[in-house]
Chain A
């Protein structure tokens, strides 16, 4: 009561019987757009609207080969191959398959061995049971993982190696290199 802010006073509810007053146009202009969707970081499928989506009522048994990013929210059994693309297992997604992709984001469940050329991102409450082969891995607290992690160092391309060799050593050898604090593995982000 004593610390009642101006804002609270402005939004004091009106009595039930009172007719609804039309909102002044100024208020409508100031109102921010609201969304009931979760934050963007938790829903990777919205990051790329052009990725293919297998919805939560979809069940596939067999081989999936995709030449674009794919989000799985349904159930898959078999193999999934997305060379050079990103696979997202969404919250409802249940995958029992061998997976090959450039990048993997797991929010749901996956049973099977995973071969990823760039990066695996295992989010909170996600479950991955199987062996992982990847260049980099990020695992959030609360994620469950059981299996082997094999960090594979990507071979640098010939052009990159030549450029590196031609580059003069500007940094002294004693200078500390920044450690990848939250990511295990090596290699550049290809995104």
Chain B
């Protein structure tokens, strides 16, 4: 089985000083949900259910650092679509679609959302464009029937749901699917010898233009800090008399 994992570089969400900061160049990392997708692909290969994992990302040469990190985790080879425009999810889905048709994987695993843009669209759009089945927000994957189907547990607003999908299909990952491994030194050494193929949209024969544009960004008004109370009695009195919520 061949697994394809699209991933995105995002500003490190664990670096609190980075969020929204304009002054310094934020450190980039693989989008945490996509890292979970990579980890799942590695585990599937380690179980002997997949032979090859291909990583795909879109961006300028600066994202090569995250590609090396994916290769160091254990991804077999990587493709970078050289495009530094501010693409929207639908443009990303249209580019990925062409590459997926070319690579013909049995399954595509990717994060449910990128933690910078929080759109949660690309996987579903890709499934729609390809007319493939989809399983979103997945916390467990099992392959069945000689790997022609996958049984997926989904995290929904109403609790866990189990569905079965025919392959090929798109699976998007939720937080509790796994905990990604750390990159090892031998992994890093091996990654240096792995290839990064660079392609352009022209070479792929795909013309896309983002249809949504961010005109501006701003910080929301800060919620003012309130008061400290010293006891349960004082808290209950405030909630009753001042806030009038009890």
Q: Do A and B bind each other?
A: no
What is the interface of chain B, defined by CB distance below 8 A to chain A? none
